Amino acid sequence: MKKRLLTMTAIAALCAGAATAEEVRVYNWSDYIDEELLTKFEAETGIKLIYDVFDSNEVLETKMLAGSSGYDVVVPTGTFLQRQITAGAFQKLDKTKLSNMGNMWDVVEKRTAKYDPDNAYSINYMWGTTGIGVNVGKVKEVLGEDAPIDSWDLVFKPENMEKLASCGVFFLDAPAEMIPAALKYIGEDPDSHDPDVIAKAEPIYMAIRPYIQKFNSSEYINALANGDICVAVGWSGDILQSRDRAAEADNGVEIAYNAPKEGAQMWFDQMAIPVDAPNPDAAHKFLNFIMDAQNMAAASNYVYYANGNKASQEFLVEDVIGDPAIYPSAAALDNLFTTTPYNAKVQRVVTRMWTKIKSGT
């Protein structure tokens, strides 16, 4: 009997231990935070932070739709968020636990409400544009001094691409962004869900396909910085990080980013809490920590993406807040477009077309 009692107390102690050691599991994009913030969060709250990364919305979405991902905070992009909310993947935020909610920027909140009405399920983490990063030296060497580095002409005109192929071109492997870009280039509605309009993007890619070395959504940061490639169609902050890495390596590579003048896509990465999150309390604490003006500024200063936090702006370094590639002027903002999610049928058309573009089949 005594022995049994001992076992029971041991079990009780174990259970209590599990309950007090609070932890939070965060699933974010790769290269997307200043890692010092992670240790700071642990020090301030005493919550153990487990941080994992992904490089495509598709991977995240599959985990969300499979259920019981085990994550407490995830960061889908607006269009994906909207679909996952419909599928019932997220829980409504308890705003009473988010005292820093007042720091958020209404200009961004108005736009994210398109995906998440009233911003009930998510807060904005970062936002940015999808555009073109170039190795300035190499591109000018190949195309001449007046190379159109601020225009989709650079990558959608076969004669330019034919020359650029020699120094290497990567595209994002993200059809939901690459197809709207091509549609915008030919003057169609980039947010069209009409399969006949979407089909018009195919010949544009087929004409330049032989000159594209790879479709990938994360390798271009290093490839561009090392000088392995000279052009990458990618996300603004990633290319600016690549610019930074090249500058640090001091290898003579100069990287520039442009949101093309014909119009570029603007996207929002939103932090949300899965409906089956094991530690929703800790998740709210993490969101509130991120929404702190100085923390958010530290993240932006590190990753070169704009954020949706008005109060953080006074702590941003000039390199970030003063760079129109990160915080575009009001006029440039008007030139950016947003898109909405495809339904399953249109998604299949888009994926099939993208496979055909990538593999020729």
C-alpha distances out from residue 349 to 182, 193, 196, 286, 354, Å: 16, 10, 10, 38, 9
Q: How far is the CB of 179 from another protein (least distance, A)?
A: 12
Q: And the tokens for 12?
A: 């009780």
Q: How far is the CB of 22 from another protein (least distance, A)?
A: 26
Q: How far is the CB of 251 from another protein (least distance, A)?
A: 10
Q: How far is the CB of 63 from another protein (least distance, A)?
A: 10
Q: And the tokens for 212?
A: 């594209």
Please count the residues of this chain forming the interface with another protein, following the rule CB under 8 A: 37
CB hemisphere CA count around 216 (13 angstroms): 14
The gap from C-alpha 256 to its chain's centroid, in whole angstroms, comes to 19
Q: How far is the CB of 70 from another protein (least distance, A)?
A: 14
Q: 183-222 mask for another protein (x: CB under 8 A)?
A: -----------------------------xxxxx------
Stretch that binds another protein, among 36-44, 62-70, 148-156, 194-202 (CB under 8 A): 62-70
- Residue from the set 188, 228, 244, 254 that interacts with another protein by CB under 8 A: 228
| Residue with smaller CB distance to another protein, 82 or 313 | 82
The footprint of another protein on residues 124-153 (CB under 8 A) is none
Dihedral sign, CA of 181, 183, 187, 189?
negative
Stretch that binds another protein, among 256-264, 306-314, 323-331, 346-354 (CB under 8 A): 346-354
Is 255 one of the binding residues for another protein (CB under 8 A)?
Answer: no
| Residue with smaller CB distance to another protein, 127 or 267 | 267
- Residue from the set 30, 151, 335, 347 that interacts with another protein by CB under 8 A: 347
| Residue with smaller CB distance to another protein, 96 or 359 | 359
> Cβ(104)–Cβ(308) under 8 Å?
yes
Burial class (CB in 10 A: 0-12, 13-18, 19+), 127: buried
Is 30 one of the binding residues for another protein (CB under 8 A)?
Answer: no
Strands of the chain (E only): list them. Answer: 23-29, 48-54, 73-74, 122-135, 169-171, 214-215, 231-235, 255-258, 264-272, 306-307, 336-337
Stretch that binds another protein, among 101-109, 223-231, 308-316, 323-331 (CB under 8 A): 223-231
Is 226 one of the binding residues for another protein (CB under 8 A)?
Answer: yes
| Residue with smaller CB distance to another protein, 67 or 70 | 67
The gap from C-alpha 336 to its chain's centroid, in whole angstroms, comes to 16
DSSP state of 72: S
What is the chain's alpha carbon radius of gyration, rounded to the nearest angstrom?
A: 22
Q: Could you give the CA distance from residue 254 to residue 224 in angstroms, rounded to a whole number?
A: 9
> Cβ(126)–Cβ(297) under 8 Å?
no
Stretch that binds another protein, among 105-113, 140-148, 277-285, 353-361 (CB under 8 A): 353-361
Element (H, E) at 8: helix 2-20
The footprint of another protein on residues 70-99 (CB under 8 A) is 83, 86-89
How many separate helices (H) and strands (E) can be counted in the chain?
Answer: 18, 11
Stretch that binds another protein, among 18-26, 168-176, 280-288, 292-300 (CB under 8 A): 168-176
Phi-psi category of 167—alpha, beta or left, where left has phi over 0 and alpha has psi -120 to 50?
Answer: alpha
Residues near another protein, by CB under 8 A: 56, 58-59, 61-62, 64-67, 83, 86-89, 168, 173, 175, 212-216, 226-228, 344, 347-348, 351-352, 354-356, 358-361
